[in-house]
Amino acid sequence: MTHLDGNSLAGPLAEFFAFDVTMAVARCEGCGTTAELARAMVYPSGAGTVVRCSTCDRVLMTVVESEDRAWIRFTGVGAIEVRRVPEVVERPASPRASR
Amino acid sequence: MSDSVGSSVGPMTDAAADRSSGLPIAAVPRSGWHAATVVAARRETPNAARLELEVDGWPGNAAGQHLDVRLTAPDGYTATRSYSIASSGRGTRVTLAVDKLPDGEVSPFLVDEVREGDMLEVHGPLGAFFVWRPAAEHTPSDGVRPVQLIAGGSGVVPLYAIATAHAEADDPAPFRLLYSVRTPDDIYFADELAALAAASAPFEVDFIYTRRAPDGWPTGPGRIMRDALEAAVVPAAERPLVYVCGSTGFVERIADWLVEFGHDPRSIRTERYGGS
């Protein structure tokens, strides 16, 4: 199977993280590139998933899942930047809100 | 505190870079697992099906997001695959268009077996990266930028969702879709794309046929070439936002060429579905 990209991490990692990991900006420890994880290259296999820097191919992350847990290793990531995102909340209209 | 941590203090993407990409951090509904009922299943093309789902508790989704479908066999074996969502907005109705992969575990079931009334487990909406939202929903920091959509095969699905959101919002951004497809019979959303081209929001579609072109088509079938791509997309000088979705090989060929044409890599968003 050919590789995918970091968009494919959204579902598997949404099970464990409260934020959308694909929009997290990661710095590659190898070449210093910073990019959203959605832009990384993703190599799935039966053993687990390897996430590589799209610039230098260094391993950024590995994800191994079993039925009841996951092992998520940030092997080559110096730091990630996670934005605070205003959440979309459907609020019932309150009388005070209506003018 | 180690040096590597110390050096990472401060924003890793500066505000100017964000402005140049013009892509706001999208607020998207929180994802979760949901029970979905198939309310309609029909052929989209000879190799693909369109599924309308009624998803219990679906929080709505932004245009371009995807979901995961999980199938569970009687023995407990599960298989999960990602599918782009062809619809967007609030509400609990979700449209998928699924291409049948010859050796697939999930897609042959979704294309050939699923019937109205069947239940599926879906996880979503997923991903805030491959998302477009109309100017009315945010304040673009640098004005209206044109949008170029580039689809290879079933990669058109999220781009169709984006084009529909553009039309529904009557968004002023000029839109173009370049759609590489095997034959005229393999076009997804053919009628809908024609209707979008006739709608008031500016939208043009260009087709590239890779296996068989319609009678009288000016060029023979074949993969898109570099010059044809350059001629068919919004020029780099107009600073378009570009969304490319298709097989991994298609996406990487196109994205590399776009960068050679002078497009800002940060303004190119890609989604690879693997495959040939």
A36-53 residue pLDDT tens: 999 999 999 989 999 999
Residue B264 has what DSSP assignment? Answer: -
Strands (E) located in chain B: 32-45, 48-55, 66-72, 78-84, 93-99, 119-126, 147-152, 175-181, 203-209, 241-246, 268-272
DSSP structural state of residue B57: T
pLDDT at A1: 67
Q: Per the CB < 8 Å rule, is A27 touching B8?
A: yes
User: Tokens 């959605």 belong to which residue?
Assistant: A38
Q: Which residues of B touch A10 (CB under 8 A)?
A: 31, 66, 126-127
H/E element holding A72? strand A70-73
- How far is residue A49's CA from residue A98's CA, in Å, rounded to a whole number? 49
Mean pLDDT over all residues of chain A?
A: 88
Q: Is pLDDT of B179 > 80?
A: yes
Give Cα separations from B112 to B29, B41, B75, B204 (angstroms): 31, 10, 22, 32
Mean pLDDT of B110-133: 96
Q: Which residues of A touch B (CB under 8 A)?
A: 1-8, 10-11, 14, 20, 22-23, 25, 27, 29, 34, 36, 38-39, 78-79, 81, 83, 85-88, 90
Amino acid identity at B258: L
pLDDT tier at A88 (50, 70, 90 boundaries)? low
Whether residue B218 has pLDDT greater than 70: yes
Average model confidence (pLDDT) for chain B? 90
Residue B158: phi and psi, rounded to 5, are: -70, -30
Strands B147-152 and B241-246: parallel
User: Over 50: is that where the pLDDT of B18 sits?
Assistant: no
CB contact under 8 A, A10 and B30: no
Residue corresponding to tokens 């298709």: B246
When scoring B129, B247, B248 by the number of chain A Cβ atoms within 10 A, the one with the most, hence best to mutate, is: B129
Q: Are B272 and B181 in contact, with CB atoms under 8 Å apart?
A: no
More confident position, B15 or B156: B156
